[in-house]
Structure 1
Amino acid sequence: MSPCEDVVQQDDPLLAGYVPAQDRLVRSLLDSGRFAEAGVAFDELVAAGPSMVGEQWNRATVLVHRASLAWRLAHIPLALELAAEGWTELDVDRPQGGCAAHTISMLGYLLETIGHRGPSLELMSLSVQVARESGECSALAHCLNREGNARVFRAVTRPDDSAEQFARARDLHGEAHSLAKPGQVKRSALAGYARALAGVGEMDRAERAALEALALGRAADDWFTSSVANWVLAVVRRAQNRLEEARTFASRALDSAETIRDTMLMMQFSLDLSAICEELNDPVGESAALRRTVAASRTAVDLLQEGLGQALEQRRVAVQAQRMAMAAREAALRDPLTGLTNRLGLERRAPGLLESTAAQGRVPWLVLVDIDWFKEINDAAGHAAGDMALQEVAFLLRRECRVDDLVCRWAGDEFVILLVDADQSARDAGPLVAERIRAAVEAHDWRLVLGRNMRPPTVSIGVAAGPTKLEQLFAAADIALYRAKRAGRNRVEQETTDEAALDSGRP
C-alpha cells in the first residue's frame, strides 16, 4: 500500500460524485494535517492542467474545489484565479442540480474563509435551496454542513443574535448528519451539531454528540472533526465549572487546529483557552494562549499579505505582457521607417472613421500624395538618402495635418491622408490641405538631406471627397493624382467619386 492509499480509503464518499479521486486525495491529506504530501499531490494536479477534468466532471465544481485546496495550501493568487474561473462557468442566474449547489456552497466557504461573511452566508443558503430542489441528498448534506458551520461561527463571534444562529445551525447540522453516509461530512456535521446544542444550552446532548464525534475523528485521522469536538467538550466543561478539564479540552482543540493550520479555528480556540485560564487564575497559561492567538492572527495576516504580494506581482506581469502585446499590435499597424500608420492600419481604421464622419453629417476627404521623381533620388543619392527624404515628407505631412487626421504611408513613395476633423468639412477642405502640403514640400530646405546638387523633391497630390467607402475614395483620388502627374507634377488635382472608376488605369 502506498503512503497515500490509506488516505484515499478514508476520503469522503459524498465527494466521489463531484470531483476526481486526485482532488479528493489532496483534500484528505489536508484534513489529516499532511501538508507536505498534500502540496506535492496538488502540484501534480495543477501541472496536469484542464486535461485532468474529464467530461464526467462538472468543470465549475472541480475548479472551485481546487480553489479551496489552493487557499488551504496558501496559494492565494491561484485560489482566487480558480475561484473566479469556476464562478464564471457557473450559471448563477439559473443554478440547477447537485453540482451547481455544491459549487455555490464551496464559493460561500471561500468567502467565509476570506472574511466576507455576509455574502458567504447568502451563497450557502442559496446552495441549500438549490440542493433541495435537485433532490440529491449527498449535495444537500454538504451544503447543509457548510452553512451550519458558518452559522456556528457567526453565533460565536456575534453574541447579539447567537441564540438564533445556534438554533439554525443545530437544525442544519442535524439534517446534514442524518443525510450523510459515513465519512468526513457526517463526522463534521456531528461535531457542528454538538457545538450548536451547547450554544442553545443542551449540554448533556452536546457532550454525548461531541464524544461520539471525537472518537470518529480520531479513528479517521480527521483533525478538523477532532478539534471541533474537543472545543465543544471545553465549552461544556466550562459551563459545568469543571475548568481544569475545560482547559485540557481547549488545549487539545487548539493543538488539532494548529495541526491542520486552520487560522479561523486557531484564533477562536486560543481565545477560549485564554478565557478559561483567566478564570482558573492561571496567568502563565493565559499568556501562552494569548501568544498563540497573536501567532494565529499573524499567520492569517502574513498569509494574506503574501498572497496579495503574489497577486500584485502576477498583475504586474500581466500588465507588462498586455502592454507588450499592445505594442506589438501597434507596431504591426505602423510603418517602421516613417512612424506613420501603414497600409494595414489604414484599412483597419478607415471604415470606422468614415462611418463616424458621415454619421455626423460631415464630408470625408482623402488626399493621395506621391513624391515626384523619387526614383531619381534613390538612383543618384542612394537608398539611405531616399529613406531620409521619405522621413522628411512624413514629418511635413504630420505638421500640416491635424491631430485627428489619419496620416498613412501607403506604399513606396505614396502617402494617404484621411481628413476627419470637423473644421475640415467645408467644400474645399481637401484641396486646401493638399495645397498646404504641396507648398510645404516645395519650400522645404532639402540641402541637409540631399545636398546641393540634387533636384529638391516635390509632390503631386490627388484629392477626392464623398462616399464612405475607402475603395471608392481611393479610386477617385488615384485618378486625380494621375492627372496631376500628367499635367506636369508638383500640383493638386481634385476628382469627384461619381466620375471615378474602381480601376484608375494608372501606368
Structure 2
Amino acid sequence: MSGHIPAQDRRVRLLLDSGRLHEADVAFDELIATGVNRVGEQWNRATVLVHRAWLSWRLNRIPQALELAAEGWTELDSDQPAGKSAAQTISILGNLLETIGHRASALELMTLAVQVARKAGDPETLAHCLVRQASALIFRSVARDVESAERLFTTARDLFDEALLVVDKGQLQRVALAGGARALAGLGRLPEADRLARRSLELSKQTDDWFCMAVANWVLAVVHRDEGDLHEARTFASRALDNAESIGDTMQMMRYSLDLAAICVQLGDAVGEAAALRRTVRASGIAVETLQEGLGQALEQRRVAVQAQRMATAAQEAAVRDPLTGLVNRLGLQRQAPVLLETTASQGRIPWLVLLDVDWFKDVNDLAGHAAGDATLQEVAHLLRRECRADDLLCRWAGDEFVVLLVDDAEDPRHAGPVVAERIRAAVDRHDWRLVLGRTRQPPTVSIGVAGGPAKLDHLFAAADIALYRAKRAGRNRVEIDRGDPEQDRPEIQGG
C-alpha cells in the first residue's frame, strides 16, 4: 500500500502479516490516538479511514471497523469517483465488504475501482486494485461448480498477469505471484503454478511475510494434490494452515483446514483429518465469537445513540438538561441548587455535594472512539441514577465531570454524602463495561471529592473540587472528603 497511506499505517499492516499480532494491536492503538486529521494533508482522508477500517477488522474490532468504514465511505465522492485515491478507497471498501461477506456489493466496488484506477493512470494504484479483485475471485472460485470456477479462475489469472506487468517488487508482487499460481492451478496448468508459487514462497521467506507464505504453501498443496502426490500435499497444506493461524486470518484458516482435511481423507489419515477438522471448528468459533462480540458492542452503542437522541429531543424543550445523559446541566444545577440548599438549612439538615470525574477519559475517546466515549458517559449517568434517590439533584457539570447534590437523612445513614460517594465509586468499578468498550479496554473508574455543611453552592463546589484533586493525586478510583485543608486552586490533572 506504499505511497497511498502514512508509514505508521503501513507498519501495522506489516506487523499483522508477519504474525506479530500483539505488536500490531498496540501500534494500532497509538495510530488511532493520533486521529485522522493529524496524518498530514498529503494523505487522502477517505483512503486512510477505510484502510484503518480494514485494519480494525483484521484486529477483530468490529464496531470500530464499521464506524471507520462508514465515515470513510461518506468522505468519498461516490457520484463521480476519479483519481488514484478514490480508486484505492473504493477498492479497500470492496475488499472489506468481501471479508465481511457482503459479496454482491464487494465485487461491484472492486470492479469499479479497477475502472477508476485505469483512468487515473497510476500503475501502482492499478496493481493494488487488480490484485484485490483477483484475490476475491480466487476465493470464490474454490467454492463454485466446475464451469463457474473455470471462468472465475481465468478472469483472476488475467488480472494477476496485468498486475505483474506493472509491479516487480514488494508484497504486491508476492501476492500477485501466489494468486496467479492458484489461478493457474485451478485451470490445470500445474507446472506453471508450481513455479510461480515457489517464487512467491522464496520472496516471502526473505521478508517474513507470513500472509503470502500461507497463500504460496496453499497453492503448492493444491498442485501436489492434483498431481497425486498426497503426502507432499498434506505437508504444504499443514504449513499453509500454520501460517494462517499465526497471522489470525480466519478466512484463510477455514479454507486451508478444510483442504487439509480433504487431503487426509484421500490418504486414509483419520487422525490427520480429525485434527484438521478440529482446527476448522476452532477457526469458525473464533470468527463467530468475534462477530457476536462485535454485534453486541454495535447494538449497545446503537442503543446508547437511540437513547441519547430521545433525550436530546426532550432536552431541546428544557435548557436545563444535558442532551447526552439526560441529567441536569450546569445551568439547571445553578438554578435548582439554591432552592434545595435553602430548604435543607430550614430543616436543620446537612447538604452534601459529591463531585466525580471519570479517570483517564481521554484515553477512552482516543483509543475506543467517540461513540464509546459517549456510551461511557451514558453508563455513568445510569449508575448515578441507580445509586441515588429520586429527589437528589444529579448533574453533568462539564465533559466527564458529574455533580450530585443530596441531603443527609439523619434517620438513615445510607444517604450521607460520603456513603453515597463510595457506593457510586464501587458501582462504577464493578460495572461490566465489555458491551460498551469490548474486552481489550481498561474499564473506567471514577475519582470523587465530597464536601458538606451549611454553605452556598460555590463554596461546596470549591471544597469538593479540592477533595477531588486529592483523590486524583492519591491514585484515582477513590473517594476523598473535604477536611477544610487550606489548599490553593488545584493544578490541572492530565489525562482525566
1:97 to 48, 60, 83: 83
Which residue is equivalent to 2:143?
A: 157
1:33 to 5, 19, 24: 19
Distance in 1, Cα, partners of 2:282 & 2:201: 26
Which residue is equivalent to 1:486?
A: none
Which residue is equivalent to 2:34?
A: 48
Distance in 2, Cα, partners of 1:136 & 1:159: 36
- Counterparts of 1:383-398 in structure 2, within 5 Å, are none
Distance in 2, Cα, partners of 1:115 & 1:298: 16
Which residue is equivalent to 1:183?
A: 170
Distance in 2, Cα, partners of 1:24 & 1:144: 19
2:222 to 235, 238, 262: 235
Residue identity opposite 2:137 in structure 1: R
2:207 to 217, 220, 229: 220
Which residue is equivalent to 1:170?
A: 157
Does structure 1 residue 200 correspond to structure 2 residue 187? yes
- Counterparts of 1:70-149 in structure 2, within 5 Å, are 70-149=56-135
Residue identity opposite 2:157 in structure 1: R
Contact 2:36/2:49 (<8 A) preserved: no
Which residue is equivalent to 2:319?
A: 332
Distance in 1, Cα, partners of 2:21 & 2:123: 31
- SS of equivalent residue, structure 1 residue 93: coil
Distance in 2, Cα, partners of 1:50 & 1:167: 39
Which residue is equivalent to 2:270?
A: 283
Distance in 2, Cα, partners of 1:125 & 1:46: 30
2:260 to 258, 263, 273: 273
Name whichever of 315-324 and 281-290 sits farther off.
315-324
Distance in 1, Cα, partners of 2:38 & 2:232: 48
Residue identity opposite 1:108 in structure 2: G
Offset of 1:333 from its aligned partner?
A: 9.5
Q: TM-score, normalised by structure 1?
A: 0.62
Contact 2:36/2:48 (<8 A) preserved: no
Which residue is equivalent to 1:302?
A: 289
Contact 2:114/2:126 (<8 A) preserved: yes
Unaligned runs of 5+ in 2: 322-342, 344-496
Does structure 1 residue 63 correspond to structure 2 residue 68? no
Distance in 2, Cα, partners of 1:256 & 1:24: 20
Residue identity opposite 2:86 in structure 1: A
- Counterparts of 1:485-500 in structure 2, within 5 Å, are none
Distance in 2, Cα, partners of 1:248 & 1:33: 20
Q: Does 1 or 2 have the higher relative contact order (CA < 8 Å, sep 6+)?
A: 2
Distance in 2, Cα, partners of 1:297 & 1:149: 21
Residue identity opposite 2:130 in structure 1: L
- SS of equivalent residue, structure 2 residue 35: helix
Residue identity opposite 1:122 in structure 2: E
- SS of equivalent residue, structure 1 residue 170: helix
Offset of 1:53 from its aligned partner?
A: 2.6
Residue identity opposite 1:322 in structure 2: Q
Distance in 2, Cα, partners of 1:93 & 1:260: 37
Residue identity opposite 1:256 in structure 2: N
Distance in 2, Cα, partners of 1:35 & 1:293: 20
Offset of 1:180 from its aligned partner?
A: 1.7
Residue identity opposite 1:245 in structure 2: E
Q: Which has the larger radius of gyration?
A: 1
Name whichever of 171-180 and 149-158 sits farther off.
171-180
- The Cα offsets for residues 13-49 of structure 1, whole Å up to 9 and x where unpaired, read as xx23211111011111111111111111110111111
- The Cα offsets for residues 314-361 of structure 1, whole Å up to 9 and x where unpaired, read as 112222322332232121399xxxxxxxxxxxxxxxxxxxxxxxxxxx
Contact 2:56/2:62 (<8 A) preserved: yes
Name whichever of 136-145 and 157-166 sits farther off.
157-166
Offset of 1:60 from its aligned partner?
A: 0.4
Contact 2:61/2:294 (<8 A) preserved: yes
- Counterparts of 1:434-453 in structure 2, within 5 Å, are none
Residue identity opposite 2:221 in structure 1: A
Which residue is equivalent to 1:22?
A: 8
Offset of 1:126 from its aligned partner?
A: 0.7
Distance in 2, Cα, partners of 1:156 & 1:216: 25
Distance in 2, Cα, partners of 1:47 & 1:216: 34
- SS of equivalent residue, structure 2 residue 10: helix
Contact 2:50/2:92 (<8 A) preserved: yes
- SS of equivalent residue, structure 1 residue 330: coil
Contact 2:257/2:280 (<8 A) preserved: yes
Distance in 2, Cα, partners of 1:143 & 1:178: 14
Distance in 2, Cα, partners of 1:131 & 1:93: 16
Distance in 1, Cα, partners of 2:215 & 2:102: 22
Which residue is equivalent to 2:350?
A: none
- Counterparts of 1:300-449 in structure 2, within 5 Å, are 300-332=287-319
- SS of equivalent residue, structure 1 residue 96: coil
Residue identity opposite 2:229 in structure 1: R
Offset of 1:116 from its aligned partner?
A: 1.2
Which residue is equivalent to 1:256?
A: 243
- The Cα offsets for residues 416-466 of structure 1, whole Å up to 9 and x where unpaired, read as xxxxxxxxxxxxxxxxxxxxxxxxxxxxxxxxxxxxxxxxxxxxxxxxxxx
Q: TM-score, normalised by structure 2?
A: 0.63
Distance in 2, Cα, partners of 1:80 & 1:287: 36
Distance in 1, Cα, partners of 2:199 & 2:38: 38
Distance in 1, Cα, partners of 2:67 & 2:168: 32
Contact 2:177/2:196 (<8 A) preserved: yes
Aligned pairs, number: 321
Offset of 1:236 from its aligned partner?
A: 0.6
Residue identity opposite 2:316 in structure 1: R
Offset of 1:158 from its aligned partner?
A: 1.3
Distance in 1, Cα, partners of 2:320 & 2:233: 74
